[in-house]
Amino acid sequence: MSQQLMNKNQTTKEVKVIIIEDYKLTRVGLKCALNEIENINVIAEAQNAETGLEMIKKEQPDVVLMDLGLPGINGLEATAKVKTISPDTKVIILTSHDREEEVVASLGCGASGYCLKDIDPITLSNVIKNVAKGACWIDSNVAHLALKVFPKPENTEIVNTTGGVDSRVRLTERENEVLKLLVQGKSNTQIAQELIVSVHTAKAHVCSILQKLCVDDRVQAAVKAIKEGIVSV
pLDDT in tens, 61-116: 999 999 999 999 999 999 999 989 999 999 999 999 888 778 878 887 889 999 99
Instruction: Give the integer Cα–Cα distance in Å for 171 and 206.
Output: 11
In this prediction the pTM is 0.64
3-class secondary-structure state, position 101 = helix
Residues 164-206 have pLDDT tens digits of: 333 445 788 888 889 888 887 788 888 989 999 888 888 888 8
- Give the model's pLDDT for residue 233: 53
Query: Are 3-147 and 150-227 equal in CATH topology?
Result: no
Burial track 128-141 (b if 16+ CB lie within 10 A, e otherwise): bbbbbbbbbbbbee
> How is the chain split among helix, strand and coil, in percent rounded to 5?
50, 15, 40
Q: Return the CATH number of the domain spanning residue range 150-227.
A: 1.10.10.10
Label each residue of 63-76 as H, E or C. EEEECCCCCCCCHH
CATH topology of domain 3-147: Rossmann fold (3.40.50)
How wide is the angle at C-alpha 118 spanned by C-alphas 179 and 136, nearest 5°? 20
User: In the chain, where are the structural domains located?
Assistant: 3-147, 150-227
